[in-house]
Amino acid sequence: MSRRMWVAAWAVLCVAGIAATAALNAFSEPDTQPEKPVSAECAEYIADIEAQLAKAKVEGNDDGVLAFTRTRVGADGCGDEIRGHFSGDR
């Protein structure tokens, strides 16, 4: 086979591979995991954090940093929910 035939065959295979990949990506379902419901205690704790951030903004201390010396009773397992809620803001 001549060099041109090899290049043409290679180009056809590349185009076919790209088309197949695009088709598979178009028809595959995204890997979305359903969101876990946030417990009432965690939702209340997140609302309290939001209120503290709003208060700091009104007072002019809006550097976006809050420090907590202890967690609220009943909100011990809320770390993932808090990180998930506020990770979209940054």
User: pLDDT tens digits, residue range 39-51?
Assistant: 888 888 888 888 8
Quick count: other Cβ atoms within 10 Å of Cβ 42? 22
For the ranges 16-20, 31-35, 57-61, 72-76, the one whose mean pLDDT is highest: 16-20
Give the global pTM.
0.49
Question: How confident is the model over 48-67, as pLDDT tens digits?
Answer: 888 888 888 888 776 666 66
> What 3-state class would DSSP assign to 59?
coil
- Distance between CA atoms of residues 13 and 70, nearest Å: 61
Confidence of residue 71 (pLDDT cuts 50, 70, 90): low
Could you give the CA distance from residue 86 to residue 83 in angstroms, rounded to a whole number? Answer: 5
> Is the pLDDT assigned to residue 90 strictly greater than 60?
no
